[in-house]
Amino acid sequence: SKACDAVGAVWPLAIVQTCVVHLLRNTFRYASKKDWDAIKRDVKPIYIASRAAAAAAARDAMLDKWEARYPAIRRLWMDAWERFIPFLDYDVEIRRVICTT
């Protein structure tokens, strides 16, 4: 996003991450409400993963399951991925605080 690019230009050493809450909300925005519970179960392993590789495997499993029905979810997650994974570098306790903007 333009805001993230601006932050990176002004503070080149800053870690810029996607707001996880907004990423999740947008995921559900692209899906039918009848699928929300199932998608919620499939998305959770992504953001609770201990490392980026485990998160990527969970992401791929979720996308493989849902992309035929909701192709926009694949684009959303793939476009946000590089700015999502810095979140995984933090301990679970810190993630609870920084998961939103």
pLDDT in tens, 74-100: 999 999 998 888 888 877 777 777 766
- Tell me, yes or no, if the pTM score tops 0.75: yes
Domain range for 84 is: 2-98
Whole-angstrom distance, CA of residue 66 vs CA of residue 70: 6
Number of domains in the chain: 1
Distances 69 to 30, 62, 79 between C-alpha atoms, Å = 10, 12, 18
pLDDT in tens, 34-56: 999 999 999 999 988 988 999 99
Whether the predicted pLDDT of 65 surpasses 90: yes
